[in-house]
Amino acid sequence: MKLTANPSAARGLGAGLAGAVLLLAAACSGSGGGADPAGAGSGADSVKVTITPEDGSADVRPDLPLKVEAEGGTISDVKVEQKAAGGEQDEAAVEGVEGEEGPGEADEITGALNEDETAWVSDWTLTPGAEVTVTAVAKDAESGEESEFTSEFTTLQAEQGSRLELQSNFPTSGDTVGVGMPLIINFDLPVQNKERLENSMEVISEQPNEGSWAWLDDQTAVFRPKEYWEPNQKIRVNLRLAGVEASEGVYGVKNHQLNFEVGREQITTIDSDTHRMVVERDGEQVKDFPVSIGRADTRAYTTTSGTHLTMEKYDELVMDSSTVGVPVDSPEGYKLDVDYAVRFSNSGEFTHAAPWNDSLGEANLSHGCPNMATEDAKWFYENSYMGDPLIVKNTDREVEWDNGWSYWQLSWEEWLEKSATGEPDRTDDTGTPGEVHGDPQE
């Protein structure tokens, strides 16, 4: 159970005791374990503080919680500093934020107090191979005087081959995305303790939403909100991976912070029956294009119905039938240079210019891609963000939920079933729903 001074306070707030990564003055410092600090009063009524891990500990598991306990008084403040073992404070500990240097929010070791302010427990794990200093300030119950206590120790190194790192992520810092955009995280090693990893990844949006992580496999986690993101807002993601035990003996080694923006709301609908593509922006129709989609005489040449997301785009692209299992030299094979291509699935579907197609708005004659006039395809290419919803209607081939980024094909209940925690996660800076720490008895 998480401890907090205020029952409504959540992880990350720490009842005001955010453990900033700061170098602290030690003019009035003492050790943990209940020792009287220099300058503090002595006697039976002096506050005594115990810090765990105790001063001088070595090779402490980074996934264990920090604890501060006070006897004869209350805890006023707790701060945590981490340095790379044998070196200076790590100024590259947080990655993913363009234009920022030094430790950031994802590196702050926050914590929470219990109701009577006599015990504090950290929210997050520690960096492997670090020199850690915990400094606690406690107030004596009788005299009201404050004293400072410290504990200095080192954490266990993550061994080569057992270091979990971020392999890739979509979106990246600085991107502007559509309202349907998921957050896709790929790790370089398999994750077995998926619940701990989920709880270490915090998504914060300016306009509150509800979301959840889902695992596509042991190395890929995807966060999708319950409803589309509200447009025109900033989203911050703290990936507090350092010190989390992803699998037995495998620890995250670095924290990351991502900052991206959700742009205007643009939702596109393609109707097989009308042969039209309608684009709505912020609730108003802005375009109505004639199209020709898959001719549907085979499954491969049937455009998939359902809710897709735009994924990537190319001003020029070679379309090769062999990539979808049809040899180029077969009667149905093709290899074409196309302009203004926008991908919306992993089964070879793009909107693109097709000046050779004379049936736009009249008949469906393509190999599965929505064909468009060159000027129309150019407009759509120039005005599409990654993560814009693209809905196809009235074909007899439903898109699979894991074909590309078609995650909105699943209901919210179905999406939650793919989460290791099984619980929704608020995006309003109230923290994640569970623990990141390992069991001390493991």
Candidates 256, 308, 352, 437; catalytic one: 352
Residues 391, 392, 396, 398: is their CA dihedral positive or negative? negative
Q: Which residue, 343, 342, 365, 339, is CA-closest to 354? A: 339
What are the C-alpha distances in Å from 267 to residues 54, 262, 272, 371, 380?
56, 13, 17, 18, 12
Q: Is 93 left (phi over 0), alpha (psi -120 to 50) or beta?
A: alpha
- Report the 3 state secondary structure along the chain: CCCCCCCCCCCCCHHHCCCCCCCCCCCCCCECCCCCCCCCCCCCCCCEEEEECCCCCCCECCCCCCEEEEECEEEEEEEEEEEECCCCCCCCCEECCCCCCCCCHHHCCCEEECCCCCEEEECCCCCCCEEEEEEEEEEECCCCCEEEEEEEEEECCCCCCCEECEEEEECCCCCEECCCCCEEEEECCCCCCHHHHHHHEEEEECCCCEEEEEEEECCEEEEEECCCCCCCEEEEEEECCECCEEECCEEECCEEEEEEEECCCEEEEEECCCCEEEEEECCEEEEEEECECECCCCCCCCCCEEEEECCEEEEEEEEEHHHHCCCCCCCCCCEEEEEEEEECCCCCCEEEECCCCCCCCCCCCECCCCEECHHHHHHHHHCCCCCCEEEEECCCCECCCCCCCCHHHCCHHHHHCCCCCCCCEECCCCCCCCCCCCCCCC
The Cβ-side half-sphere exposure at 88, using a 13 Å CA radius, reads 4
Candidates 256, 275, 367, 369; catalytic one: 369
Q: Is 369 a catalytic residue?
A: yes
Q: Which residue, 160, 322, 141, 152, is CA-closest to 251? A: 160
Q: Is 28 a catalytic residue?
A: no
Q: Which residues are catalytic?
A: 352, 369
